[in-house]
Structures are given as structure tokens and as C-alpha cells.
Amino acid sequence: MKFKILILAILSMLAFGLINCSKSCEVTINACNDTPPTDEVCAAAFSRWFYNKDQNKCELIGYSGCSLKGFETEKACKVCRCK
């Protein structure tokens, strides 16, 4: 009986861990979906951090656009990463 309870406890912990892992990938911050503008031309130059979801990492990208998209810091961008 103790063995069955132990197995059930281990399976429960594994299931809980897998659920938590998948939930950490569900980011609801809009800036995580920003992509660097490619069709904007402006007299400004920005360097911003953008999340690359295909590589699951943040990248510093420079662009000349009128809108401030992405993140100011790499630390702020890292909230998008799937852990």
C-alpha cells in the first residue's frame, strides 16, 4: 500500500512539474510578439531587444523606425523566454 502511495505521489509531482513548465511558455506580454519594423523609415535610430521565438532568445537589433517596439533591456526581454 505504501508503495502505491509513493508511486502516486511521484506521478503527481511529475505531472505538476510538466504543467508548470508548459504554463511558463504561455507569455501574455504583447511586446514578446513584436518584430522589428522593416517598412518604416524615420530620422531616428533605435537599438532594441526583440524576442526570437524560433530560437527562444533575445536579440539586440538596430533599426530606423518611427515606433518604439521591443524592449529597452535584455533583462526585460527575457520574460518572454520559455523556461
What does pTM read for this prediction? 0.58
Task: Assign 20 a pLDDT band (cuts: 50, 70, 90).
Answer: very low
The confidence score (pLDDT) of residue 76 equals 92
Instruction: Please measure the distance between the N-terminal and C-terminal CA atoms of the chain and give it in whole angstroms.
Output: 36
Q: Which grid cell sits at 24?
A: 511558463
CATH label, 2-80, candidates 3.40.1280.10, 3.40.50.1110, 1.10.150.120, 4.10.410.10? 4.10.410.10
Q: What is the mean pLDDT of residues 71-75?
A: 92
The confidence score (pLDDT) of residue 29 equals 76
Which amino acid is residue 71, in one-letter code?
Answer: F
12 in helix, strand or coil? helix
Alpha-carbon distance 83 to 25, whole Å?
7
Domain boundary assignment for the chain: 2-80
Q: Which residue has the higher pLDDT, 43 or 74?
A: 74
DSSP 14-41: HHHHHHHHHHTT----GGGG----SS--
Tens of pLDDT, residues 24-67: 555 567 888 887 776 667 777 778 899 998 899 999 988 776 77
